[in-house]
Amino acid sequence: MNEMKLSKRLLTVVKYIPKEAVVADIGSDHAYLPCYCILNDIANGAIAGEITDGPFLSAKQQVEKLSLSSLISVRKGDGLEVIQKGEVDAITIAGMGGALIAQILESGKTKLVGKERLILQPNIHAYHIREWLYKEGYTLINEEILEEDGKYYEVLVAEKGDKDAAYREIPIATGLFVGPFLAKEKNAVFIKKWSRELEHMQHIYQQIAAGASKTENHQKLIELSERIEMLKEVLKLG
Ligand code: SAM
């Protein structure tokens, strides 16, 4: 992967950046995504945000090497603190866990003015992000699931709007857990991912159920069995 040839995962993120947007890529690492967007005339300007010294330096070097410093501003800081209010039209946060992405959005929400499209790519636990979007009044406008190098990735696209719009045809708890668009499309990757997940949960359930019965395990078993039933229903298993 480099600034001209992105991974399938990052290309899926880029697909949802509005044309001529100013985009902030938070946790940009090598800044491949912003560089690709500028070199391919997708974005008019970009910010690459990084919290860690190493990736921040590599982003800076990458942008300088390509002589893109006038169009891509590389900034060091935690999450959305690197952007000014109203400065960007789109924000991408990719390649992290869903809990961390949701936490970055929560800590930085005062920076959001409501015009920003959020394009979020969690490696795991996307439901943390859906829950945050729902709580904050964002409408989920699309989702994708893809497999690359044996791993499953989800991409969630949201804008400020009707938080319930995406959840009219699915029970809300199920929609938040597996994704309303993904559950509707139910493609081969979705089925593969959630079938494996279901097997894993059933295994854990049996292990806990066979162990010493404790009050905290009782609650855990209830939660697990709710999720197992949810997945069986989505996958239409008996
Ligand atoms: N976004 C790139 C991608 O998808 O290929 C890089 C993903 S890399 C696994 C995650 C990056 O996020 C790391 O470089 C890390 O330093 C950065 N990061 C983690 N927490 C952050 C935060 N709160 N603010 C900014 N960057 C953060």
pLDDT tens profile 173-187: 999 999 999 999 999
Mean pLDDT of 159-168: 98
pLDDT at residue number 1: 80
- Does 26 sit in the ligand 1 pocket, CB within 6 Å? yes
Q: Residue 16 is encoded by which pair of tokens?
A: 């949802």
Lookup result for tokens 């949701």: 102
- Does 50 sit in the ligand 1 pocket, CB within 6 Å? yes
pTM of the complete model: 0.96
Residue 103 pLDDT greater than 60, yes or no: yes
CA distance 124 to 5: 24
The chain-wide mean pLDDT, for the chain, equals 96
| Helix/strand/coil for 177 | helix
- Ligand 1 mutation target, pool 14, 50, 149, most atoms within 8 A of CB: 50
> Where would I find the beta strands (DSSP E) of 79-150?
90-96, 117-122, 138-148
Percent of the chain with pLDDT over 70: 99
> Where would I find the beta strands (DSSP E) of 16-169?
21-26, 43-50, 72-76, 90-96, 117-122, 138-148, 151-160
Q: What's the topology of domain 8-170?
A: Rossmann fold (3.40.50)
**Cβ(122)–Cβ(97) below 8 Å:** yes
Residue 193 pLDDT greater than 70, yes or no: yes
Q: What spacing in Å lies between the alpha carbon of 214 and ligand 1's midpoint? A: 39
Lookup result for tokens 């391919």: 40
Q: Which amino acid does the sequence have at 112? A: L
Assign 237 a pLDDT band (cuts: 50, 70, 90): low
Task: Label residue 77 exposed, middle or buried (CB < 10 Å: 0-12, 13-18, 19+).
Answer: middle
Lookup result for tokens 């905290």: 216
b/e for 191-225, b at 16 or more Cβ within 10 A?
eebbeebbeebeeebeebeeeeeeeeeeeeeeebe
CA-nearest of 77, 155, 162 to 119 is: 155
Q: Compute, in degrees rounded to 10, the torsion defined by CA atoms 178, 181, 186, 188.
A: -90
Closest protein CA for atom 2 of ligand 1? 28
Helices first, then strands: H and E counts in the chain: 9, 7
Assign 203 a pLDDT band (cuts: 50, 70, 90): very high
